[in-house]
Amino acid sequence: MGRPAAAPPVPQPAASPPPTQPKTWRRDGRAALLFLGPWFVGLVAITAGPIFASLVLSFTDYSLLSSPSWIGLENYERMLNDPRLHSAMWVTLRYVVVSVPLQLALALALALVLDRGVRLLPLYRSIYYLPSLLGASVAIAILWRLVFGTEGLVNQVLTLPVISNVAGMLGIEPTGWVSHPDYALNTLIVLNVWTFGSPMVIFLAGLRQIPVMYYEAAAVDGASWLTRFGRITLPLLTPIIFFNLVLQMIGAFQTFTQAFIVSGGSGGPADSTLFYTLYLYQRGFGNFDMGYASAMAWVLLVIIGGFTAVNFLAAKYWVFYGDD
Amino acid sequence: MVTTKPTTVPDPARSQRMQRPPQINRGRVKGLLIHVGLITFGLVMLYPLLWMISSAFTPTELIFREPGLWPSQPTLENFRDGWTALRHPFHRYIFNSMVIVFGAVIGNLLACSMAAYAFARLNFRGRKWYFAIMLGTIMLPIHVVIVPQYILFAQLDWINTFYPLIVPKFLATDAFFIFLMVQFIRGLPKELDEAARIDGCNHWGIYWRVILPLSMPALATTAIFTFIWTWNDFFSQLIFLADPDLATVPLALRLFVDSTGSTSWGPLFAMSVVALGPIFGFFLAGQRYLVRGIATTGIK
């Protein structure tokens, strides 16, 4: 398969001349079978096999009860005319495009503040990181539902004396945030932004990699904070920004638990929190429409792959790898 | 701005007030402001969590009337009610979760470290190819494979058992941890392997007696994150465990929301606190380690 055409002569099985080379090869080969065996079984049965199977299933009509019947591109055609799917795509896209940049901007801003030799850094870092660890849990999704509920914490705060006046001037009134189609998605965006701690920690690690001598040289030249940030920090940090961007985007496209719990599994008021994965779950495991769910999964894979590819292509123009 | 030399200023009081003290103060005030800002922001961020914990100890009828954090009539009633609100007492769900979590942790530690040893230390045909394939599976969304996996496990009669959630871990399907350990093992000196080989160790001996004991930091990271992710996992548990008797903590919480509706917020808060307990525990015990782990590996 991957063997080069003009490979050096393969060691003959019975040849004795270089005794060490073939012997270690053979021994390692057998050991590799032992050590890599479980992984290989998993790859075939749990990962690669199912990828291939879902591609095949996406061209079938299959409800688990009878055997799958081949229907060609019909599932994909159905996707073109499925308003709920389009709405799910739109919801997910808005969520990704709004929440990920906000999350990364907040992460970078706080990393910059914390990087300037603030005392108690480990304490702050841990406090800000905590939500990242909890964010995807059902308990937090439930908490969010209650915080943004009609009687929830947000509305309680909005009725406090001074805050209610300020909020009133800004046009913010207490309402059922998670039960209102215009706001429900925003509450989930807030939830994702709230988990900015993990990209922040990665930013902090990246900031520490920047050689101090650059800043010292800039200080000698009398560069302002803004200049130093724009000319040194930001360019040298672009690989980390890129890493975080790709990672958080891929994660955000797959958001499920929060949307499921906050909307009670339905997708929320007027499908306003019907995320792509939630709709996939409904089709596949609610209606046992396995063929359609498989087609949806492949489209998701293509979308995520597409966004990642665009990221990598665009990276050429803004990510700076300091090799000069 | 300062144009006059300090020595020529005739009035020392003036120079002190106008020049030196303000500079010290500016630094201090700035530092103080930064701290005030950071603490305020931290409190705003943590407020929902603190509210949840405080509400767990507040009688339900008072929760939505008191936005403050100190319950005026603290009670353990919510924990008692919540613990028994579902068909089984809550420790049954904790037990179910624990079985899956420990299975997953042991599976990941064993299978991922074995695969990592092969990729880092063994010389076999097609290694680069397999390694590339392994890397390629890291970013794969679970949604692409979940439908065929469900069909496979249904044919094995494994739906409504814990097998679909544990067995794949023994087959090293969390490729990210393989990668993590490969990186780690590559950093260990090869001379150790050779010394062990001269002493008569085979590959299993080298792996078990040399590499594994030295890989503790990578193994600990794997264990902690497998624990947290599996404990938090909702999607695959929702799909593979339809039987309420097998419900795990996240599934039980969800049942709780659905079955009790808006009547018992207090117990719901209490059980949410219980559900986050182990993660809080890990966090408090190993926060530095966790934070360092995420900084060097990029995992959540």
* B295 backbone φψ class: left, alpha, beta (φ>0; ψ -120 to 50): alpha
Residue B265: predicted pLDDT: 86
B283 contact residues in A (CB cutoff 8 A) = 126, 130, 133
| Prediction ipTM score | 0.86
Residue for token digits 């060691």?
Answer: A11
In tens, the pLDDT along B175-184 reads 999 999 999 9
Distance, CA of A104 to chain centre: 12
Whether the predicted pLDDT of B226 surpasses 70: yes
Residue A105: predicted pLDDT: 97
Residue B242: predicted pLDDT: 93
Residue A111: predicted pLDDT: 95
In tens, the pLDDT along B241-286 reads 999 999 999 999 999 988 766 668 899 999 999 999 999 988 888 7
Residue A242: predicted pLDDT: 95
| CA-to-CA separations, A60 to A63, A65, A298, B156, in angstroms, rounded | 10, 13, 13, 22
User: In this structure, what DSSP letter does residue A304 have?
Assistant: H
Residue A156: predicted pLDDT: 85
Cα–Cα distance for residue pair A112/A121, rounded to 1 Å: 12
Residue for token digits 């996939």?
Answer: A280
Residue A3: predicted pLDDT: 35
Distance between B220 CA and the closest CA of chain A, angstroms: 16
Give me the helix-helix angle, B216-232 and B90-121, nearest 10°. Answer: 140
Whether residue A124 and residue B137 make contact (CB cut-off 8 A), yes or no, is no
Best of B63, B133, B140, B143 to substitute, by most chain A Cβ atoms within 10 angstroms, is B143
Q: In this structure, are residues A259 and A268 in contact, taking their beta carbons and an 8 Å threshold?
A: yes
Whether the predicted pLDDT of B203 surpasses 90: yes
* B68 backbone φψ class: left, alpha, beta (φ>0; ψ -120 to 50): beta
- Residue A163 tokens read as 């805050």
Cα–Cα distance for residue pair A28/A44, rounded to 1 Å: 22
Residue A275: predicted pLDDT: 97
Three-state SS string across chain B, please?
Answer: CCCCCHHHCCCHHHHHHHCHHHHHHHHHHHHHHHHHHHHHHHHHHHHHHHHHHHHHCCCHHHHCCCCCCCCCCCCCHHHHHHHCCCCCCHHHHHHHHHHHHHHHHHHHHHHHHHHHHHHHHCCCCCHHHHHHHHHHCCCCCHHHHHHHHHHHHHHCCCCCCCHHHHHHHHCCCCHHHHHHHHHHHHCCCHHHHHHHHHCCCCHHHHHHHHHHHHCHHHHHHHHHHHHHHHHHCCHHHHHHCCCHHHCCHHHHHHHHHHHHCCCCHHHHHHHHHHHHHHHHHHHHHHHHHHHHHHHHHCCC
Q: Which residue of A has its CA nearest to B249?
A: A138
Residue B24: predicted pLDDT: 56
Best of A30, A34, A36, A256 to substitute, by most chain B Cβ atoms within 10 angstroms, is A36
- Report the residue from B45, B234, B288 with minimal CB separation from A122: B288
The CA-based angle B154-B156-B162, given to 5 degrees, is 80
Query: How confident is the prediction for chain B on average, in pLDDT?
Result: 87
- Report the residue from B178, B235, B275 with minimal CB separation from A257: B235
Whether the predicted pLDDT of B237 surpasses 90: yes
Residue B1: predicted pLDDT: 40
CB count, 10 Å around CB of A54?
26
In tens, the pLDDT along B82-100 reads 999 899 999 999 999 999 9
Residue A169: predicted pLDDT: 87
A137 contact residues in B (CB cutoff 8 A) = 231-232, 234, 250, 275-276, 279
Residue for token digits 């890397």?
Answer: B135
Q: Specify the amino acid at residue A111.
A: A
Residue B298: predicted pLDDT: 74
Whether residue B115 and residue A39 make contact (CB cut-off 8 A), yes or no, is yes
User: In this structure, what DSSP letter does residue A8 have?
Assistant: P
The CA-based angle A301-B129-B230, given to 5 degrees, is 50
pLDDT in tens, chain A (324 residues): 333 334 444 444 444 444 444 555 456 888 999 999 999 999 999 999 999 999 999 999 999 888 999 999 999 999 999 999 999 999 999 999 999 999 999 999 999 999 877 788 888 998 999 999 999 999 999 999 989 988 888 888 888 888 888 888 888 888 889 989 999 999 999 999 999 999 999 999 999 989 999 999 999 999 898 999 999 999 999 999 999 999 999 999 999 999 999 998 899 899 999 999 999 999 999 999 999 999 999 999 999 999 999 999 999 999 988 654
Best of A35, A40, A191, A256 to substitute, by most chain B Cβ atoms within 10 angstroms, is A35
